[in-house]
Structure 1
Amino acid sequence: MTKIRSLFSKKKKYATIPSEQAKQEVPEGLMTKCPSCKTIMYTKELRKIKMVCNGCGFHHKITAIERLEMTLDEGSFREYDKDMIATDPLNFPSYKEKSELDRKKTKMNEAIVTGEGTINGFPTIIGVMDSRFRMASMGSVVGEKITRAIEQAIEQDKPFILFCASGGARMQEGVFSLMQMAKTSAALNQLHEEGQLFISVMTHPTTGGVSASFASIGDINLAEPGALIGFAGRRIIEQTIRQKLPDDFQTAEFLLDHGQLDKVVSRHDMKATLTTILELHQPQTK
């Protein structure tokens, strides 16, 4: 009798698999798993620490609006060119439909938000790219909004800060997209000639035509930890030069070591770092 009781009182060796109904009861987006260290956190708690993993420091992607809220003083932001929407100059198949889906998903009209605001009281013109919209690819509207923001910086005699995140030029717009590389670079050259500050902040990922144009020509170039930054992909480069590239190739840390960045800055320290730079570049009063 004792043996029978002990047989039924043993703990189960294996956990049961939750039913499909039980799985469905867990709200989508409640938890976030770090792709680097696999730490699982409540998304709500992760947002409180600026979407930076407290296990390994991995920087999760954030939206343009979240970036603006983290960077600018509360209530100081005034947006530019909000209603500007791209056309379909090449009649590219499904481009209009996919762009409309992105507009609904992101509640944005394009892959970048531009405007003006203050950072700890220092006025600035700012642009923030959002990779949820066509992978923040650089189309005609993205280039135009950046150029107009630069022109505002010149007109108002304010510094320009651009948070870059992009897969490169937008293939659906062909040469119209590639022309934005020259247009934005020319506008930044004019900003430079006026003696005004341009801070480029590269986030994950900053690639293709964006990395080869405005993203890389800041007076001060910053990046978030672990950000992928580069023009062509690793495989293409390895096939071209017939050499094996380092494991950390095209990371922010690799670029810093090779003199292509001024500093790698954690998201926790970004606002303070930008404040220091802006303070140092304030015009001297007599």
Structure 2
Amino acid sequence: MSWLTEYVRPKIRGLLQREVPDNLWTSCESCSQMILIKDLERAQKVCPHCGHHMKATAKERLDWTFDNAEYTRIELPKSPVDPLSFRDQKRYTERLKDARAKSHLDESLAVAHGKIGGNDAVVAVMAYEFMAGTMGAAMGEAFVAACRLAVLQRAALVVYTASGGARMQEGVISLMQMPRTTIGVEMLRDAGLPYLVVLTNPTTGGVSASFAMLGDVQLAEPEALIAFTGPRVIQDTVREKLPEGFQRSEYLRDHGMVDMVVKRPELHETLSRLIGLMTNKKNEEAKPALETA
């Protein structure tokens, strides 16, 4: 072996080869194409190849929704922990501890207030990363707190839904949050404030059967699963083949359950326009009464 192969060639290879970090790339779960993580973050986690909307964290949705990602998070009300002393493979308290450590959230709902297109707004985001966004007593309390804050600030309430349904570890207490959250929506209606719902993938179970379907305007991200019971369970029950795209956002829009299907990068502008139209209309209706008075 000559000095060229033993010494020079390894040196050249060392100069040409650069270490590539393991977290530089990811693959789309829909089309399997490789995507630079920086490009994916810039596109708000929408695949540039096929347009697939990947799951987003609660913090990411708050950053994308508020003007210049400027907002103030609120402290959520305290609720009883593990009211049923529930245990399956693990204690419920241990599951909560693990979920909080993993998600850096106290519960499956994050609430903040700020501006959307210059309009005052309160935004509540369901965190699928926290026990699949399941609905328990603490989440119900957080939702009502968001409604009260919106009424106090005379602001619109925007809710992003993403949930696997009721939280089995809280039994009937979880189901009680369905009427409780509905009362929160009625508070907004009584105050004449806009309530906008953005349905994301997936929105199922008790969430879809309560506050998720009560918006003044129902928006949804493309191809989001929106259902009470999953399509496989329904198909096994009725023993019939379901229509193409059944329970997806486009199907629900075509059948009158959803008003608009909006791509994620267009949501901020759409919400801004809707809140502006709804609040300006209310202000104009209030003017004649004030002038008469």
- Structure 2, unpaired ranges of 5+: 1-18, 288-293
Map of 2:5 onto structure 1: none
Amino acid at match of 1:126: V
CA distance in 1 between counterparts of 2:21 and 2:177 reads 41
1:141 to 138, 141, 147: 138
Contact 2:160-2:200 within 8 A present in 1 as well: yes
Contact 2:159-2:198 within 8 A present in 1 as well: yes
CA distance in 2 between counterparts of 1:176 and 1:40 reads 44
- Identity among equivalent pairs (%): 42
Amino acid at match of 1:284: N
Map of 1:108 onto structure 2: 105
SS state of the match for residue 92, structure 1? coil
Contact 1:81-1:145 within 8 A present in 2 as well: no
Task: State which drifts further: 115-124 or 223-232.
Answer: 115-124
Q: Does 1:122 align with 2:119?
A: yes
2:33 to 22, 34, 39: 39
SS state of the match for residue 29, structure 1? coil
Report the TM-score, using the length of structure 1 for normalisation. 0.87
Deviation at 1:85, TM superposition (A): 6.2
Map of 1:284 onto structure 2: 283
1:223 to 216, 220, 224: 220
Contact 2:67-2:116 within 8 A present in 1 as well: yes
CA distance in 2 between counterparts of 1:103 and 1:82 reads 14
Q: Deviations over 1:17-37 (max 9, x none)?
A: xxxxxxxx8645332111111
SS state of the match for residue 199, structure 2? strand
Map of 2:263 onto structure 1: 266
| Distance change in 2, residues 1:74/1:197 (3 Å) | same
Amino acid at match of 1:185: T
| Distance change in 2, residues 1:121/1:86 (3 Å) | farther
Contact 2:188-2:194 within 8 A present in 1 as well: yes
Count, aligned residues: 262
Contact 1:164-1:202 within 8 A present in 2 as well: yes
CA distance in 2 between counterparts of 1:28 and 1:254 reads 39
Report the TM-score, using the length of structure 2 for normalisation. 0.85
CA distance in 1 between counterparts of 2:105 and 2:171 reads 22
Q: Deviations over 1:226-254 (max 9, x none)?
A: 11100011122123323211231111111
Within a 5 Å distance, the mapping from 1:129-278 to structure 2 comes to 129-278=126-275
Amino acid at match of 2:33: T
Map of 1:20 onto structure 2: none
Query: Whose helix fraction is larger, Structure 1's or Structure 2's?
Result: 2
Contact 1:64-1:113 within 8 A present in 2 as well: yes
CA distance in 2 between counterparts of 1:157 and 1:57 reads 36
Amino acid at match of 1:146: F
CA distance in 1 between counterparts of 2:120 and 2:80 reads 29
Q: Deviations over 1:169-197 (max 9, x none)?
A: 10000111100000001121221122211
Contact 1:165-1:204 within 8 A present in 2 as well: yes
What stretches of structure 1 move > 3 A for 4+ residues in a row?
Answer: 25-29, 82-86
CA distance in 1 between counterparts of 2:209 and 2:254 reads 19
Q: Deviations over 1:174-225 (max 9, x none)?
A: 1111000000011212211222110000001000000010001100000000
CA distance in 2 between counterparts of 1:184 and 1:223 reads 20
SS state of the match for residue 281, structure 1? helix
CA distance in 2 between counterparts of 1:44 and 1:75 reads 18
CA distance in 2 between counterparts of 1:104 and 1:27 reads 25
Map of 1:11 onto structure 2: none
Task: State which drifts further: 168-177 or 243-252.
Answer: 243-252
CA distance in 2 between counterparts of 1:108 and 1:183 reads 22
| Distance change in 2, residues 1:170/1:29 (3 Å) | farther
Contact 2:107-2:130 within 8 A present in 1 as well: yes
Deviation at 1:75, TM superposition (A): 5.8
2:55 to 24, 49, 61: 61
Q: Deviations over 1:121-154 (max 9, x none)?
A: 1111110111111001001111110011111212
Q: Does 1:71 align with 2:65?
A: yes
CA distance in 1 between counterparts of 2:214 and 2:22 reads 40
Over aligned residues, Cα RMSD in angstroms?
1.6
